[in-house]
A and B are shown apart, each in its own frame.
Chain A
Amino acid sequence: MRVRIVLGVVLAAALLLGVGALAGRPSGGPPAAAPAAPDRPQATSRLAVTIAAHQERLRTVPGDWTAWAALGEAYLEQARATADPAYYPKAEGALRRSLEVRPDGNAAALAGLGALANARHDFAAAKTLAEQALAVNAWSDTAYGVLADAETQLGHPGAATAAVQRMLDLRPGLASYTRGSYDLEQHGRRTEAVALMRLALAGATEPADVAFCHQHLGSLAWAAGDLATAGRHVTLGLAADPAAVGLWQLKAKLDTAAGDLTAALADLDRVVARTPTVDALLDQARLLQVAGRDPGPSLELARAAHRLFTANGGTDDLGAAALALAAGDAATAARLAVAEWDRRQFGEVADMVAWTLLAAGDPAAALPFARHANALGQVDATLAYHYGMVAHAAGDRGTARLQLRLALALNPKFSPVDAPIAARTLATLES
């Protein structure tokens, strides 16, 4: 009798516990508790799903340093894809946490912090971090990517090409194809750059990635004056991701070239309403001037944006030089551009130094910089126009004629202001 009771109690307990286990079965589970997470962004993309998965994992296993590093990288990717800077401090926090949990042999966190330093324009620090990561793991493709970006910006094209090649060997994919394409473009190998970027596009699945590839392809077409192809890429890219600001900026150039200033200004309004960057605001100010409207508010906003960047500890004398030039203060612009040149001998910086020195009335000093900016052989209408104008002022008529002809042959509508000047100067040179 007693045995029977004990047996009954045991059976009842087993049944109850069994039903509990059954209730916890994932498939038979309740409707996936949406109210539990009302504040998370909807997981529409693979990236959002990845971020959510890492967050979930780290809530239960806070000591998983690889997950922390992966989450930091995903946040960086999200910041890039959405242009939302709120993700940068999160990325830094996650990467530092990963390094805290595992200070030694943590290549992933070091590479992530390197990417962050690149984003902050601290290219020297980025290079150091990438090298540290490679010392730990010589097969880290992401570290090579960080190194390639840093070397490019520091003006070491040879080292940059080597890093990109290593990255391509280690992991052919979207990230290495786009970098390879950019490196080829810098060396004037346009056809190969386009081919590699097409390869990247073929492998892109995320809307933001697809838009990114179309933006590159569109820019390559624009630089060569192929406006029809550029326009096609803009349309395709915006169809994939209507929020891609880079594509709207490119569309504004195309609309300007087509003579539709109203549409171009509307495009830039969209960009500036979402991400009021110095670059976009300067574009807007220039276009407003062409349209005969007051560029003052845009310039003021651009100055504020730059002031905020500096107040937050960033250094960007290149942006400051562009601002000073737009404000008509050529001497200050030249001084700032030279200061940036002292930090890094990159082609883009050389171009800015040459152009500001010309504006400041010193074409003789500008000429070597213009030559350096074109040394790698990059084919770009604006670059050629700058070189031609500097050479013209410095008295090198042969180079001036060649470069101005090149600029107009590449893209006769490369700028509503500069293209007519180029044509006039060329006419006086040839007469």
Chain B
Amino acid sequence: MRRVLLLLCTVAAGVLLWPGAAQAHPLGNFSVNQLGALALHPDRVAVAYVADLAELPTLQSQPSCTAVAAAFHVTVDGRAVGWTVDREVFTYSDGAAGLRTSRLECDLSGPADLSAEATVDVANDFAADRIGWRELTATADGVHLVDPPLPASSRSDGLRSYPDDLLSSPPSVRSATLRVAPGGSTTGAAAPPSSSALPGVLPASVLPGWAGRAELTLRGWVAQRELTPWVGLLAVGLALALGAAHAALPGHGKTVMAAYLAGRQGRPRDALTVGATVTLTHTGGVLLLGLLLTTAAGLAGETVLGWLGVTSGVLVAAIGVSMLLSRRAAGHDHTHGGGEHPYDHSPDHSHDHSDSHDHSHGHGSRDHGHGAGRPSRLAVVGMGIAGGLVPSPSALVVLLGAVALGRTWFGVLLVLAYGFGMAATLTAAGLLLIKVRDRWPARLRLSARLTRLAPTGTAALVLLVGSALAVRSLITL
């Protein structure tokens, strides 16, 4: 008997089954490759099982679904699920050296009570000794998977094409423990970190151009395995910028808000109030929506966003109506009192505005008693709510991604940064308009008639834009 070279014997063993040539099995001629795709339902567990056998295992034995069912163990709260084989398909295909490879497909199902909270243990002990690619996936229908440790879809397209990525080892997933909660919606979350966790929300980048790339970068950072302080800092900075960019997109009633602040004697403080309200509303809205989407079944993210758009538009329109109404009252006042409008005062006041904030403040408090010309606190807050009500889808995606990775608090922080970014844009727009308003009438000396008409015009504009926003959102629904 020949003496085997000790040092090389195991290496040579591998070489004999070298997966080099084009038609050879990509994972070597020894391999038995397996995929168990679990689908959890409230009343049963189903497994779509596939085995891909390379040339030599195909010659050695022909596996059956009965054998698979005996070795594929699933327990629900410790009780084993008994399998029924619903479908069994065994096929051959051509392999290397005139040999054949084979493929076994089994659909197994068994009753299980998953309507309440439950722990599902999965262990695939079929051909446990064999070398090969071993995948497990899990999806849920009508129940909810809590932080599933398994992906929702196969990496190898159901053992049809094995990725030849140099930087990943063949998976060897033999067992897993799943937690199931009632309610459900996810068809299996915690997919690859780069894509959205929820089907309802737009999975790819939701923003065009550089903002889209920035958003993908941000999601990449959130998904990073180990966060560093530097990455955390950059992520917040990027979230701020994305929030600001989101507010710069049309549909947040910026024009309306600016017009309102300009038409009514808005002060910088009002602009700040709007900013604060926007931040609060946006953050709260995104968090609430995120909570809704992760817990409630069958809720599509886009529909919710549409309805929020409608609400926002209606709110703006309502403010427009209230402005018109108060304008009528103010107009009445005007005819009686005469010259109450600040622009009818001496130019000093305008001069004060542009010069020093203190003066302008004094002017404001002095004028407070006049009432009608100033924007009401309620309307300003309403403006802010309208601006913040339509959540940035990208903030939502980032939040859900963070939640799926178990980094809820980081996600909340980023959403807060989004809100601040939006507030910054909107406040800046408001402040700019106030500035412009304060400077222009003083210099250009608009005719008194036009100035008198302006508030009515802005009220009409607010109403118009609000209605347009509502209608546009309604159409997309």
The stretch that binds B, out of A32-40, A106-114, A135-143, A226-234, is A32-40
Picked from B31, B225, B228, the residue with its CB within 8 Å of the CB of A36 is B225
Please, what's the 1-or-0 string for A178-196, where 1 marks a CB less than 8 Å from any CB in chain B?
1100100000000000000
Do A24 and B13 have beta carbons less than 8 Å apart?
A: no
B1-45 contacts to A (CB < 8 Å): 1-21, 24, 26-31
Do A86 and B226 have beta carbons less than 8 Å apart?
A: no
Chain A positions within 8 Å of B30 at CB level: 84-85, 274-276
Do B1 and A418 have beta carbons less than 8 Å apart?
A: yes
Q: A16-B240, A23-B232, A38-B173 are in contact. Are A277 and B13 (CB under 8 A)?
A: yes
Do B420 and A16 have beta carbons less than 8 Å apart?
A: yes
Picked from A16, A33, A59, A415, the residue with its CB within 8 Å of the CB of B417 is A16
Picked from B2, B98, B232, B416, the residue with its CB within 8 Å of the CB of A351 is B2
Minimum Cβ distance to chain A for residue B128 (Å):
10
Q: Does A17 contact B (CB under 8 A)?
A: yes
Query: Once the chains are docked, how many angstroms separate the CA of A401 from the CA of B85?
Result: 65
Q: Which residue of the partner chain B has the closest CB to A380?
A: B3
Chain B positions within 8 Å of A157 at CB level: none
Q: Does B130 contact A (CB under 8 A)?
A: yes
Do B223 and A312 have beta carbons less than 8 Å apart?
A: no
Q: A22-B232, A274-B129, A418-B1 are in contact. Are A311 and B358 (CB under 8 A)?
A: no
Minimum Cβ distance to chain A for residue B96 (Å):
5
Chain A positions within 8 Å of B147 at CB level: 35
Q: Does B259 contact A (CB under 8 A)?
A: no
Q: Does A293 contact B (CB under 8 A)?
A: no
A11-67 contacts to B (CB < 8 Å): 12-13, 16-26, 29-42, 48, 51, 55-56, 58-59
Do B171 and A41 have beta carbons less than 8 Å apart?
A: yes
Minimum Cβ distance to chain B for residue A159 (Å):
16
Q: A16-B416, A24-B229, A121-B12 are in contact. Are A307 and B166 (CB under 8 A)?
A: no
Do A313 and B16 have beta carbons less than 8 Å apart?
A: no
Q: Does B193 contact A (CB under 8 A)?
A: yes
Do B235 and A24 have beta carbons less than 8 Å apart?
A: yes
Q: Which residue of the partner chain B has the closest CB to A119?
A: B11
Interface centre among A152, A182, A314 (most CB of B within 10 A): A314
Please, what's the 1-or-0 string for A259-288, where 1 marks a CB less than 8 Å from any CB in chain B?
000000000001011111111100000100
Minimum Cβ distance to chain B for residue A261 (Å):
17
Chain A positions within 8 Å of B176 at CB level: 38
Q: A16-B240, A79-B14 are in contact. Are A26 and B417 (CB under 8 A)?
A: no
Do B168 and A275 have beta carbons less than 8 Å apart?
A: no
Query: Once the chains are docked, how many angstroms separate the CA of A118 from the CA of B231?
Result: 45
B43-67 contacts to A (CB < 8 Å): 55-57, 59-60
Q: Which residue of the partner chain A has the closest CB to B56?
A: A276
Q: Does A392 contact B (CB under 8 A)?
A: no
Chain A positions within 8 Å of B357 at CB level: 1-2
Chain A positions within 8 Å of B150 at CB level: 38
Q: Does B210 contact A (CB under 8 A)?
A: no
Do A39 and B155 have beta carbons less than 8 Å apart?
A: yes
Chain A positions within 8 Å of B227 at CB level: 23-26, 29-30
Q: Which residue of the partner chain B has the closest CB to A26?
A: B226
Chain B positions within 8 Å of A125 at CB level: none
The stretch that binds B, out of A90-98, A165-173, A360-368, A421-429, is A90-98
Interface centre among A97, A270, A311 (most CB of B within 10 A): A311
Do B406 and A33 have beta carbons less than 8 Å apart?
A: yes
Q: Does A308 contact B (CB under 8 A)?
A: yes
Chain B positions within 8 Å of A32 at CB level: 225-226
Do A39 and B171 have beta carbons less than 8 Å apart?
A: yes
Q: A33-B225, A35-B149 are in contact. Are A86 and B9 (CB under 8 A)?
A: no
Query: Once the chains are docked, how many angstroms separate the CA of A79 from the CA of B131?
Result: 11
Q: Which residue of the partner chain B has the closest CB to A381?
A: B1
- The tally of residues in A whose CB lies under 8 Å from a CB in B reads 107
Q: A17-B233, A19-B236, A23-B227 are in contact. Are A41 and B169 (CB under 8 A)?
A: yes
Q: A23-B227, A274-B131 are in contact. Are A312 and B19 (CB under 8 A)?
A: yes
Chain A positions within 8 Å of B237 at CB level: 17, 20
Query: Once the chains are docked, how many angstroms separate the CA of A219 from the CA of B4?
Result: 10
- The tally of residues in B whose CB lies under 8 Å from a CB in A reads 90
Chain B positions within 8 Å of A19 at CB level: 236, 413
Q: Which residue of the partner chain B has the closest CB to A223?
A: B3
Do B13 and A275 have beta carbons less than 8 Å apart?
A: yes
Chain A positions within 8 Å of B59 at CB level: 300-301, 304
Do A23 and B406 have beta carbons less than 8 Å apart?
A: no
Do A312 and B20 have beta carbons less than 8 Å apart?
A: yes
Do B15 and A119 have beta carbons less than 8 Å apart?
A: yes
Q: Does A255 contact B (CB under 8 A)?
A: no
Picked from B17, B135, B406, the residue with its CB within 8 Å of the CB of A85 is B17
Chain B positions within 8 Å of A329 at CB level: none
Q: Does A400 contact B (CB under 8 A)?
A: no
Picked from A18, A83, A246, A308, the residue with its CB within 8 Å of the CB of B131 is A83
Q: Does B453 contact A (CB under 8 A)?
A: no
Q: Does B89 contact A (CB under 8 A)?
A: no
Chain A positions within 8 Å of B24 at CB level: 308, 311-312
Q: Which residue of the partner chain B has the closest CB to A417?
A: B1
Please, what's the 1-or-0 string for A95-132, where 1 marks a CB less than 8 Å from any CB in chain B?
00100000000000000000000111100000000000
Query: Once the chains are docked, how many angstroms separate the CA of A243 from the CA of B30?
Result: 15
Minimum Cβ distance to chain A for residue B407 (Å):
4
Minimum Cβ distance to chain B for residue A405 (Å):
19
Query: Once the chains are docked, how many angstroms separate the CA of A82 from the CA of B132?
Result: 11
Do A119 and B229 have beta carbons less than 8 Å apart?
A: no
Q: A35-B148, A307-B99, A312-B21 are in contact. Are A24 and B233 (CB under 8 A)?
A: yes
Query: Once the chains are docked, how many angstroms separate the CA of A296 from the CA of B138?
Result: 43
Chain A positions within 8 Å of B298 at CB level: none
Q: Does B440 contact A (CB under 8 A)?
A: no
Query: Once the chains are docked, how many angstroms separate the CA of A278 from the CA of B17?
Result: 10
Interface centre among A12, A13, A24, A322 (most CB of B within 10 A): A24
Do A90 and B166 have beta carbons less than 8 Å apart?
A: yes
Picked from A20, A33, A272, the residue with its CB within 8 Å of the CB of B405 is A33
Interface centre among B164, B168, B173, B409 (most CB of A within 10 A): B168
Extra contacts besides A23-B232, A301-B59 (15): CB < 8 Å:
A16-B413, A18-B233, A19-B236, A20-B417, A21-B232, A35-B406, A80-B10, A80-B14, A84-B131, A88-B20, A90-B164, A245-B10, A301-B56, A304-B99, A312-B19
- Mind listing 23 A-B residue pairs with CB under 8 Å? A24-B230, A24-B233, A26-B227, A29-B226, A30-B408, A33-B223, A33-B225, A36-B405, A48-B169, A84-B30, A86-B27, A86-B131, A118-B8, A118-B11, A121-B12, A121-B15, A275-B13, A300-B59, A307-B99, A308-B16, A308-B17, A309-B17, A314-B18
B contacts, CB < 8 Å to A: 1-21, 24, 26-31, 55-57, 59-60, 96-99, 129-131, 133, 135, 147-151, 155, 164, 166-173, 176, 190, 193, 223, 225-233, 235-237, 240, 272, 357-358, 361, 404-410, 413-414, 416-417, 420
